[in-house]
Every structure is written in structure tokens, then in C-alpha cells.
């Protein structure tokens, strides 16, 4: 446990950031899973709609430094290829 007041304040900030980051990451993963589920179901319109939302959240996570830009590009490319294969 922190002993100094500044360390206590930093702990609170750290926990707040952690929760915010977990929510953002979870939201991105949820939309990626929805896209993959639509692809498995063979529903191209739903897959396209969820692909748009997934790419939005992937890009936002890059902007927030949640993931590396190359990782984001790889995920978006992979999802796009799968949707276009329908």
C-alpha cells in the first residue's frame, strides 16, 4: 500500500485508468466477436455492419494507445478478408 499522499493519489488514478482501459478493450473485443459470429452465421449484411463498428473501436484503441498500430491493421485486414469472402 502507498505511504505518501502522492502515491495514494497515483494509486487512485491508476485504478481509474485501469477500469477505463478494460472497458474500452472489452468493447472492441465484443464487436470483433460479433463480426466473427455474423461471418459464421453467413449473414453478410450483419457482418458488414459489425465490421464497421469493430474497425471504429480498433482505431479508437490505437488512438488511446491501447494497441499497436500494426496489430490494429492486422486485425482489421483479417476481419475484412473474412467478410469479403462471404
Tens digit of each residue's pLDDT, the chain (86 residues): 899 999 999 999 999 999 999 999 999 999 999 999 999 999 999 999 999 999 999 999 999 999 999 999 999 999 999 999 98
CA distance 62 to 19: 17
- CA dist list (Å): 50 to 4, 9, 46, 62: 47, 39, 6, 18
Residue with cell 472492441: 28
pLDDT score of 65: 94
Burial of 72 (0-12, 13-18, 19+ CB in 10 A): buried
pLDDT at position 11: 96
Name the percent of the chain in helix, strand, coil, to the closest 5.
Answer: 85, 0, 15
Amino acid at each position: 500500500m502507498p505511504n505518501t499522499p502522492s502515491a495514494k493519489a497515483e494509486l487512485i488514478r491508476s485504478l481509474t485508468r485501469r477500469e477505463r482501459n478494460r472497458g474500452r478493450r472489452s468493447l472492441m473485443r465484443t464487436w470483433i466477436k460479433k463480426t466473427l459470429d455474423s461471418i459464421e452465421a453467413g449473414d453478410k449484411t450483419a457482418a458488414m455492419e459489425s465490421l464497421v463498428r469493430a474497425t471504429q473501436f480498433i482505431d479508437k484503441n490505437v488512438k488511446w494507445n491501447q494497441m499497436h498500430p500494426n496489430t490494429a491493421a492486422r486485425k482489421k485486414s483479417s476481419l475484412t478478408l473474412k467478410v469479403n469472402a462471404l
